[in-house]
Structure formats: structure tokens, C-alpha cells
């Protein structure tokens, strides 16, 4: 059982986490949801298309202009409060590595802290525990926030992913975060080259076997682009293929830009796996 905010999700129930970037320079939408009204429209659309979680980010993951904690909070805290007011049942996640921002968004109503940089601020888990929020524990290979990997190497990338993410998850529970609200994330692209991310994908079952719910953030990432030699706007098909493989291997939560398309992929995989009946089954019966 995965419990996030007011929602509970069964072991075989896929969960879609829709990305809403409150940044003027996001790599995929170039700031389309930086202003409040487009961002709220994006939330409404994502919920209508099947997203159970809205992941709000105030800092671009890649290098760029410095964003202070105060500015990150300015971009996210009020928006979290408004999403909480308009969508009381949706799970609100905030993508941040800073404890002070985590505290402010939890005060505003956030249910989940998505720590994409692998515990670089250990106080963030303490904030999650104090507010009863969930936590995403990610492998970033020890990279500093907003840096790109350079000639990074691993003796065994999945062994390192397991060591870091399970260690972070266990620490979070020891601090008081509810076990059923903790997820682990292999951190595709973060502290990894393309071959590392591909290996992490095909060995995803090893993460699932730990018993912690697995979140994957695959959407239009560089490892997809390099694998297929496609620019950012032409990575949807590769992303959906990777999503299908991840679903078959047992990942549960999917952080995405394309909600409707992802939902169809996840429902199809779930039906093939026998976890979901077909929506319609007339063929050969009428």
C-alpha cells in the first residue's frame, strides 16, 4: 500500500505524477506554466486526464541562473496553497532539495517532497517527518544540485542506486516518515550517462524487489534523446516505450509531461499483466 496525502494506492495501481514547472527556463516547455493561470490550467487538465499527483517545481534541474531559496519559495508556496484550495483531493508534490523550501510548502499544504538530488540537504527528510509528508529518495550519484555529469563511472550502477536509495529510505523512516509514504527513484540522467540510465531501466526489477515503491522520472530526458538521436520535442515515443518497460518491471509512480498518453500505456501494460480488465470486451462474444 502506497499512501500519499488523502490517497491510498494498491500494490498494482499505477500512479501518474504530472509535472508543473514554475520556472521561466524549463527544458521542455520553456516557461509555459511559469505564470499562475497557465499553471492552474495545466493542473486542471492533468487531473482530468488521470494524474493523481501534481509535482510542482520552482528550480530548473539543469544549469542556469541562480535561484535562491527565497525565490524558489516565492514561485511555489502560494501556488501550492492555491492548488490545495482548488483541488482538495489531489496529491501535491514539490520538487525541491532545500529543507527551508520543503517546510514552507508543507505549511501551504504539500503532501510529498520530491528530493531529486539524493539527500544533499539531510534536513529535508526531517521536514517530511515533522509534517507527515511523503518523501522521494533519489539516486543522483553524489552530484551537486543543477550540475551535469562528467565522465562519471560506477563499478555497478544498480548496486550504487540500491545502496543510496534504500539507505535514504530507511533513514527517513527512522526519522519518522511513514514507511508507506516513502518511494525510491533511480534518478535517470542525474549523475549518470545514457548507458547508466539504460542499465538502470533494464534492471529496475532489482529496485522493485526491495519492497519500496519505485518512482521513475523518464519524461523526455536526455538518455531517451541520445538513445534515439532525437531533440527534446521528439522524445515522446521513446519515453512511452521506456514507460512500458518500467511498468512491466514493476515501477509504480511515473513523473510525466504527457499524462493522457502515459495513462494509456500504463493501462495497456496492466491489462497484459492481468492486473486490469479490458475496458470493453466484445470481440468474439457478440
Q: Which of 22, 75, 192, 221 is catalytic?
A: 221
Cα 146 from Cα 179, distance rounded (Å): 29
Tens of pLDDT, residues 124-160: 999 999 999 999 999 999 999 999 999 999 999 999 9
In whole angstroms, how far apart are CA 251 and each of 10, 59, 153, 154, 258? 13, 26, 25, 23, 17
- The CB-side HSE value for 247 (13 A sphere, CA atoms) comes to 27
How far apart (Å, rounded) are the C-alpha atoms in residues 209 and 85? Answer: 38
pLDDT in tens, 75-91: 999 999 999 999 999 99
> Percent of the chain, pLDDT > 70?
100
Residue showing cell 528530493: 115
Reply yes or no on whether 221 is catalytic. Answer: yes
User: Over the stretch 40-74, which tens digit does the pLDDT of each residue have?
Assistant: 999 999 999 999 999 999 999 999 999 999 999 99
Cβ-proximal residues to 225 (8 Å cutoff; 6+ apart), any chain: 231, 232, 235, 238
- In angstroms, rounded to a whole number, what is the distance separating the alpha carbons of residues 108 and 166? 29
Rounded to the nearest 10 degrees, how much is the dihedral formed by the CA atoms of 178, 184, 185, 186?
160
Catalytic residue among 22, 192, 235, 255, which? 255
Amino acid at each position: 500500500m502506497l499512501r500519499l496525502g488523502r490517497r491510498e494506492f494498491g500494490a498494482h495501481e499505477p500512479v501518474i505524477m504530472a509535472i508543473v514547472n514554475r520556472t521561466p527556463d524549463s527544458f521542455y516547455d520553456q516557461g509555459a506554466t511559469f505564470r499562475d493561470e497557465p499553471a492552474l490550467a495545466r493542473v486542471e487538465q492533468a487531473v482530468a486526464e488521470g494524474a493523481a499527483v501534481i509535482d510542482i517545481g520552482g528550480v530548473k534541474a539543469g544549469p542556469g541562473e541562480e535561484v535562491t531559496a527565497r525565490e524558489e519559495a516565492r514561485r511555489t508556496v502560494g501556488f501550492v496553497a492555491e492548488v490545495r484550495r482548488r483541488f482538495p483531493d489531489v496529491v501535491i508534490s514539490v520538487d525541491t532539495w532545500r529543507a527551508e523550501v520543503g517546510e514552507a510548502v508543507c505549511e501551504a499544504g504539500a503532501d510529498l517532497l520530491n528530493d531529486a538530488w539524493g539527500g544533499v540537504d539531510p534536513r529535508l527528510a526531517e521536514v517530511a517527518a515533522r509534517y507527515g509528508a511523503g518523501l522521494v529518495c533519489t539516486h543522483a550519484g553524489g552530484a551537486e544540485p543543477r550540475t551535469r555529469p562528467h565522465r562519471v563511472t560506477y563499478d555497478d550502477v544498480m548496486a550504487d542506486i540500491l545502496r543510496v536509495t534504500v539507505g535514504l529510505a530507511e533513514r527517513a523512516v527512522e526519522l519518522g516518515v511513514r514507511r508507506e509514504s516513502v518511494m525510491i527513484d533511480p534518478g535517470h540522467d542525474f549523475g549518470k550517462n545514457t548507458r547508466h540510465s539504460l542499465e538502470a531501466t533494464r534492471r529496475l526489477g532489482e529496485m522493485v524487489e526491495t519492497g519500496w515503491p519505485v518512482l521513475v522520472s523518464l519524461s523526455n530526458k536526455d538518455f531517451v534523446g541520445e538513445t534515439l538521436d532525437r531533440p527534446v520535442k521528439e522524445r515522446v515515443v521513446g519515453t512511452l516505450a521506456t514507460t512500458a518497460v518500467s511498468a512491466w518491471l514493476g515501477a509504480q509512480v511515473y513523473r510525466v509531461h504527457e499524462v493522457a498518453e502515459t495513462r494509456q500505456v500504463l493501462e495497456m501494460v496492466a491489462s497484459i499483466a492481468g492486473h486490469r480488465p479490458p475496458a470493453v470486451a466484445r470481440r468474439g462474444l457478440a
